[in-house]
Structure 1
Amino acid sequence: MTVSFKTLASAAALAVLGTAATAEELRIGTASLGGAFYPMGQSISNIVNEHAGSGITMVPIVTGGSVQNPNLISTGEVEIAITNNNLAALAVKGVGPYTAAGPIDIGAVAALHPSVLHMVVLADSDIQTFEDLAGKRVAVGPAGGGTLGFVNFLLPLHDMTVDDITPSFVSYSDGFSQLTDGTVDAALALSGYPAGAVMQASAGAELRFITFSDGMLDKAIDANGAYLAVDVAADVYDTTDAGVLIGVNNMLVAPNSLDAATVQAVTAAIFDNLEELQAENASARQIDPAASLNLAIPLHAGAQAYFDAQ
């Protein structure tokens, strides 16, 4: 299929599958404040509220983040959510952090921005590489967020365990506040960039990225094909040097039981008005519409109908 992504009015998109229910409010699961998921969910909600029509509205919900969000869909606490590609694949299989819940019947709605693991210290810190975190106080994000999943993945690769650090389980905003006031030695955040918490910290302190030792980033990517290396320029946060960080692509997901016409209207609202979304949200400028056709899980029937119409 050739995707041209020409403008398609939301009303026309709805005609394929019928009209969505009147006055339907969708709760979109995001993450903690200070990262990129919440403002992305807020911007998507604004686009949906403006353009989806047929009484469909959306409201962003603060959550634990990418790990928790598929579980929140499973329990009905949100109707749509942002998560990482690798976590979506684990959720539909019911493995890893979703073993207790069992397979979660979700479909992909849209490819979003990549998230990168911000590993940040003050510029004068003696912490240079990931191994130097041993014995240090580290803000690792909320307990249900994707940052901790990355930490638990990276620690064994470096012959370390969580017992080798003193973790602080706080929101990204609180974690980077703790960094600048000296409560922790390093702050980590899996987020799109620029991340609000890091931006706020950089306004009052000089920051530096923690690096990987030679060969360790390649080793991590080889160990999990969902991960990738992402270059973050020094001028993003006015850091002393650019960062070569580990990252993962994100996606919007919804339960396959959610009305296909509703999902098609949401998908149309996003991609028919992508320039408007990108003008509002810096992370949205990294969205590649074609990537929605090559995700880790199948598209929801409503999203598939939208892309089939292009």
Structure 2
Amino acid sequence: MTVSAQAVRTLLSRDIPVLWFSYGGWFSGIAEGLPGKNVDLRIAQFRASEQQQLEIARRMISGKIRNSRTMLRRNARGEMPRVGEQLKQLAIQAMQAESSQQLLGIEGTAARLYFGSFPAMVGKNSRVDVSDFQENGRTRRPPKDPLNALLSFCYTLLVKDLTVTLMGIGFDPYYGMFHKPRFGRPALALDLAEEFRSLVAESVVLQVLNNGEVGPQDFQSRAGGCMLEASGRKAVLRAYERRLEQEITHPQFGYKAAYRRVMDIQARVLGAVMLGELDDYTAMVTR
């Protein structure tokens, strides 16, 4: 698909960014209007102390682990008390981490436990075989099986949206609190994505699998990896947009908002913490 120069100019004049993806679903680039005018926010972002960055990262990762635990409790076939209790303890440990390296280790342990149980959330109505995921676990670049391909594609969509959200508020999305800066890596978007992985991306994956919205014909294996065909990408995009429009009650503020709006709220909460308008960052955690 191509976009004419006239269309790009019109979109940019209305503050609507234009994004490009590879055929494999990787976020390739973005065109937007003038950079955000909130220079004070970017100054505060770059001046944040290591301790402040660690405190924010603790809350984001603890929130991620708590959301993963809730996801398993709601969707797993059969009881998983051992994994649930382990995730509960890891969420507590994340809040007590004394360094970013320690926090990284806690997050990695939680991820292994969670993804080890992920196939238990895929129901019998799924037309996609997840046995390869059960054997190999989470794989990326390239994903080795259909379930990993779905996860990677949905994570890409999520990070893309959070990158745009952060840029619109005035952040530099490439300078993170938990994920270290690296060329071409939207570290802050990856940070904020942590608490939304279960709430948005993984929920979409389970939805398209358990509702039979994707099947074996929607995937292609080549060069040692697995990727979504155009039909599969369209199905996932439809489900992803439905999820973003779903309304929930924000646990901190008590009013209803669609997930798309909640992502913006969380970015603004982070900005308020950076500027000293709020004392602590509160992660988005579902009940």
Question: What's the TM-score, normalizing by structure 1?
Answer: 0.24
More RCO (CA 8 Å, sep 6+): 1
